Structure 1
Amino acid sequence: MSLFPSLTLTLTLPLFLCILFITTTSTTLPPPSPSFPYGLSYHIDCGSSTNTTDPFNTTWLSDRYFSGGATGIVSEPLHFRHAHEKTLRFFPISSGKKNCYSIPSLPPSRYLVRTFVVYDNYDGKSHPPSFDVSVAGTVVFSWRSPWPQSLSRDGAYADLFASILSSEALICFYSFATDPPVISSIELFAADPASYDSATIGDNGTVLVNYGRLSCGSDQWGPGFSNDHDLFGRSWQSDSEFRTGQTKIVAVSTRNGISGTEQKPNYFPEKLYQTALTTEATAEEGGGVLEYKLSVDAKLDYLVWLHFAEIEGRVRRAGERVFDVFINDENLTRVDIYKQVGSFSAFTWHRTVKNLSSSLLSVKLVGVVGAPLICGIENYALVPSDPSTVPQQVVAMEALKDSLRVPERMGWNGDPCAPTNWDAWEGVTCRMSMDNTALVISQIDLGSQGLKGFISDQISLLSDLNQGCQTQESM
């Protein structure tokens, strides 16, 4: 079952929404599951105490790597199909305003990070919480109460590609007012650092947030939803809810192999190109128009990636199927799939779309000769990364946290200073470094906290302090 409502997220995000909760617990570090070619994937069932295996043979790890919080169970477990859909972790204000999952021992790479969030009145208060979610120090989702009823009850999947260059993946949650953030599952898949034209669209810090990943002419499929594989963990949603216009459409499919798939750096799966959508009427017959509309946040730029393969045997030479691609009514390119790659071979085209003036992004294929055809559409918001704290200063603050036995209520979790639109750790003041490349600690004031302990000698790493730690007299 999949949904696709609009969430009021940091990015006003229409997400791939699906029902998938998870069960997890255990503190030992199991070997990550293989994810060719980059070697690892994690599936953490937040709130569960045991490892489980779902119907698609995915192993879900028990809940681990969290900074605090407590576990809960959805109010209507029978509403959810799988055992791993019924649990969650929540972070009450007693755990501090900021809590994190920190997945360790990761090689530097690009990763697909997928979360599942559900409320389902687990606490009996009928008040879905307001909170932010960040990945690697960049705010990516903002949940605001009240949630749409279907979203509150059924939950939502959201995913993104982010570069994680440290040895751990930080997924953090920030409470607004006294609302406890909730999380039901976290998944992480290694991906090729060069995927999605990373060298061209921006630096390694740019986060690609999924605003629509559609498989045309098919049902939803991919990891978590079917036995079909995708090496990067991408799930592909049916395009049916996003088609507009009055043109009669035809879904076509093939069992033939498709060349040019499963290749570096994007490893697009063969299955994506074995189904397609076209129109019943050709351009010559007065038809030949396919149109899709996707909800977006107009403040952001988007990477639109289109997928094609000539899988209809009636097209046997160049010039027999030609169509124009329009995005937001701008004619951007003319496509002749057979001329580009022949038949039963994958062809992709992508464009970065900027300066949007509407909350809807339209993709339209207009036939020039014959009927247009498309296999898939991807649309990613390009979110610039926030600066992070100088790594040595993070080490120093972690040492100070341990030596002073800083209580959970103070929320000293994740990056001390980032994201910059959240409060820094309680009692900590931050600023940009002199070269504007990172955040540094400029002041620490813990004198009123009643802490007992000692000051770690690693405090010497905090070379940008304007005012020293105010706790000596109480130590």
Structure 2
Amino acid sequence: MWGDLSIALVCSAISLDCLSKLHHCYLIDLKLYILSADKIDSHVLSSIIDFTIRIDCGGSSNFTNEFNQTWIADQFYTGGIKVQLPDQQKFKFSQEKTLRSFPITGGKKNCYEVGVPNGVYYVRMFFVYDNYDNETHAPSFDVSIEGTVVFSWGSEAWTEDNIKFGAYSDVFTPIEDSVATICFYSIGTDSPLVGALELVQVDPNCYNKVLHENILLVNYGRFTGGSSSFGAGMSKETDITGRAWDTDLDFTQSAANRVVLTTDQGIKNANRAPNYFPMYLYQRAHTLSYEDTLEFLLPIDPKLDYMLWFHFAEIDPKISASRQRVFDIVVSGKIVFHNVDIYKEVGNYAVYDLQFTARNLTNATLSVKLVPHTGAPLISGLENYALLPKEVPTDPIDGTKYMHSL
């Protein structure tokens, strides 16, 4: 039976195209994942060349964390200074305890320029202020990836929790020039900052190949129906594409009658190309204690369109036939999927995913409802991505919508 095969290569073994862009020669984990035969059908058994680099911004040494992730000391920056946060004990992970600050004396724009193979990447960053400079003023700044502004940190984005404990934000983006360029732009005289930077190469055909269309996918909410968050670098239940999954409690009004189902049984068709949604996602589900509507409220910027991915698996042992759990999916008051019957479509303990793109929105909150016909609705997870065109000189995305607090 095939297992995970991990290969570590020195940068001299990387293609000349990539090597010519690298500023330093360093050890990179190049992992060839060959998924085990009991997790994936033979006709989709495939390998992922996963170029991954994780930079501990402001950090002075390399380390490997409890999840066997390798982080490298701060490098590939064009300016700025290292900062040790004053109250490090309150931060759970090592990469959160330092940051790189870009004082205005070094110019309005500073960047990280990281040599990478061309492809599609999951890019995640960690931001925290924690009054490191004793100015009691969290800085305002914009962040761009490959020339497109994706995050805007201002007074609304800097909630009290974000200031004290930090927040992660992430994007899927194509990189076509062998260099990942992430830039920070000062607003006024403020000093931009960043605490951690991760780049994980993913399957180029992920998410319906939308990233082939000069589109970036900005995370506006990715959550599990389970009781706790999980994912890469956050728990032992990982996600090979680098994603982290929040609990859905911040998005739903149904906490009072919320029921979480769990199973250890294998889920058919999990971990499949090109999205490789993890099996653990489908081994947890949010349902209700009685037949009622399950609603999620997702903060958005209505100027943009959104790609919604719904994740289901029927893991309730009481459901043993079709028509025992049937519901509609309603987005912004419109039925987008009628008579969803997971068991009828795939049986039990099997992946069932649906995708919908919401356009022409007018409200700053996107309502998603699962409206029952028979039985209580059920969901394993939901993803909501803004479809952000590349290199569009428009206003930065409102930073309050997608900052995921710890």
Q: What residue in structure 1 maps to residue 27 of structure 2?
A: 30
Mapped contact 2:30–2:49 kept (Cα < 8 A): no
- Paired residue secondary structure (1:268): coil
- Which residue among 149, 158, 164 is the counterpart of 2:175? 164
- Which residue among 287, 309, 322 is the counterpart of 1:305? 309
Q: What residue in structure 2 maps to residue 380 of structure 1?
A: 385
Q: What residue in structure 2 maps to residue 427 of structure 1?
A: none
Q: What residue in structure 2 maps to residue 262 of structure 1?
A: 271
CA-to-aligned-CA distance 1:11-33 (integer Å, 9 cap, x gap): xxxxxxxxxxxxxxx95422235
CA distance, structure 1, for counterparts of residue 24 and residue 95 of structure 2:
18
CA distance, structure 2, for counterparts of residue 420 and residue 322 of structure 1:
42
CA distance, structure 2, for counterparts of residue 188 and residue 204 of structure 1:
20
In structure 2, runs of 5+ residues without a counterpart are 1-22, 34-47, 397-406
In structure 1, runs of 5+ residues without a counterpart are 1-25, 282-286, 388-418, 423-475
CA distance, structure 2, for counterparts of residue 52 and residue 148 of structure 1:
30
What's the CA shift for 1:144?
1.3
Q: What residue in structure 2 maps to residue 72 of structure 1?
A: 83
Matched, 1:333 2:341: no
What's the CA shift for 1:246?
7.8
Mapped contact 1:35–1:231 kept (Cα < 8 A): no
- Paired residue secondary structure (2:244): coil
- Paired residue secondary structure (2:231): coil
- Which residue among 152, 161, 180 is the counterpart of 1:142? 152
Task: Name the aligned partner's letter for residue 245 of structure 2.
Answer: W
Mapped contact 2:174–2:212 kept (Cα < 8 A): no
Change (3 A) 1:171 1:364: same
What's the CA shift for 1:224?
1.6
CA distance, structure 1, for counterparts of residue 289 and residue 307 of structure 2:
29
CA distance, structure 2, for counterparts of residue 35 and residue 170 of structure 1:
25
CA distance, structure 2, for counterparts of residue 218 and residue 166 of structure 1:
41
Q: What residue in structure 1 maps to residue 353 of structure 2?
A: 348
CA distance, structure 2, for counterparts of residue 81 and residue 317 of structure 1:
44
- Paired residue secondary structure (1:362): strand
Q: What residue in structure 2 maps to residue 154 of structure 1?
A: 165
CA distance, structure 2, for counterparts of residue 307 and residue 198 of structure 1:
18
Q: What residue in structure 2 maps to residue 434 of structure 1?
A: none
Q: How does 1:43-442 map to 2 (within 5 A)?
A: 43-104=54-115, 106-145=116-155, 147-199=158-210, 203-245=212-254, 248-281=257-290, 287-334=291-338, 335-386=340-391
The structure that is strand-richer by fraction is 2
What's the CA shift for 1:250?
1.4
CA-to-aligned-CA distance 1:194-235 (integer Å, 9 cap, x gap): 111124xx7532010001001003200011210112121000
- Paired residue secondary structure (2:27): coil
% identical equivalent positions: 44
- Count of matched residue pairs: 358
Structure number with higher relative contact order (C-alpha < 8 Å, ≥ 6 residues apart):
2
CA distance, structure 1, for counterparts of residue 78 and residue 191 of structure 2:
14
CA distance, structure 2, for counterparts of residue 35 and residue 233 of structure 1:
15
What's the CA shift for 1:149?
2.2
Change (3 A) 1:71 1:373: same
CA-to-aligned-CA distance 1:240-268 (integer Å, 9 cap, x gap): 22111587231111110001111111111
Instruction: Identify the range of structure 1 (82-91 vs 208-217) with the bigger mean alpha-carbon deviation.
Output: 82-91
Instruction: Identify the range of structure 1 (73-82 vs 112-121) with the bigger mean alpha-carbon deviation.
Output: 73-82
Change (3 A) 1:297 1:420: closer
What's the CA shift for 1:421?
7.5
Q: What residue in structure 2 maps to residue 464 of structure 1?
A: none
Change (3 A) 1:340 1:120: same
Change (3 A) 1:247 1:156: closer
Q: What residue in structure 2 maps to residue 396 of structure 1?
A: none
What's the CA shift for 1:75?
2.1
CA distance, structure 1, for counterparts of residue 375 and residue 153 of structure 2:
45
What's the CA shift for 1:382?
0.7
Task: Name the aligned partner's letter for residue 138 of structure 1.
Answer: T
What's the CA shift for 1:82?
3.1
| Structure 1 runs of 4+ with >4 Å offset | 419-422
What's the CA shift for 1:94?
2.3
- Paired residue secondary structure (2:301): coil
Mapped contact 2:56–2:71 kept (Cα < 8 A): yes
CA distance, structure 2, for counterparts of residue 167 and residue 249 of structure 1:
46
Task: Name the aligned partner's letter for residue 360 of structure 1.
Answer: T
Root-mean-square deviation (CA, aligned residues, Å) is 1.9
CA-to-aligned-CA distance 1:349-386 (integer Å, 9 cap, x gap): 01000111111111111111122111001000111100
CA distance, structure 1, for counterparts of residue 381 and residue 299 of structure 2:
17
Question: With structure 2 as the length reference, what TM-score do the two structures score?
Answer: 0.84
Task: Name the aligned partner's letter for residue 203 of structure 2.
Answer: D
Task: Name the aligned partner's letter for residue 133 of structure 1.
Answer: V
Mapped contact 2:232–2:240 kept (Cα < 8 A): no
Question: With structure 1 as the length reference, what TM-score do the two structures score?
Answer: 0.72
